[in-house]
């Protein structure tokens, strides 16, 4: 956790952030698209869930976030952050991996269902 969020180590909120990230299952996804970092950040909405509810009510964080720490999802804030984070999660940049993506970037869709949604019978 310290390596993943190294820019936040030592900050007042870091212990709560670290505890939240380690409190349950975490799933890593790599989205492949032109300008993916910006598009994903736009889809997520503001980091603070209260701000997201006001400024981006259709965002993921507005719908599923609780506060500034439990805000539903993480998204790299820059291409540089993505490169560092992808290396931690997936073992290097795409060209360096033995597992190659088979994604074709046309006529695609993505569906994410959080495990608790299924467990609580809220699917559909």
| Residue 30 tokens, joined | 């790599």
Helix ranges, the chain (H): 14-22, 36-44, 49-55, 60-64, 79-90, 115-119
Is position 8 annotated as part of the catalytic site? no
Active-site choice (8, 33, 74, 116): 74
Residues assigned a catalytic role: 74
């Amino acid at each position: 956790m310290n390596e993943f969020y190294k820019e936040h180590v030592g900050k007042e909120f870091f212990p709560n952030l670290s505890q939240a990230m380690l409190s349950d299952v975490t799933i890593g996804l790599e989205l492949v698209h032109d300008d993916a970092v910006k598009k994903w950040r736009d889809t997520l909405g503001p980091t603070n869930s209260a701000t997201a509810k006001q400024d981006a009510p259709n965002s993921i964080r507005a719908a599923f976030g609780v506060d500034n720490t439990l805000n539903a999802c993480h998204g790299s804030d820059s291409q540089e952050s993505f490169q560092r984070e992808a290396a931690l999660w997936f073992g290097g940049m795409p060209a360096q991996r033995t597992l190659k993506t088979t994604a074709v970037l046309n006529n695609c869709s993505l569906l994410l269902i959080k495990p608790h949604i299924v467990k609580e019978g809220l699917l559909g």
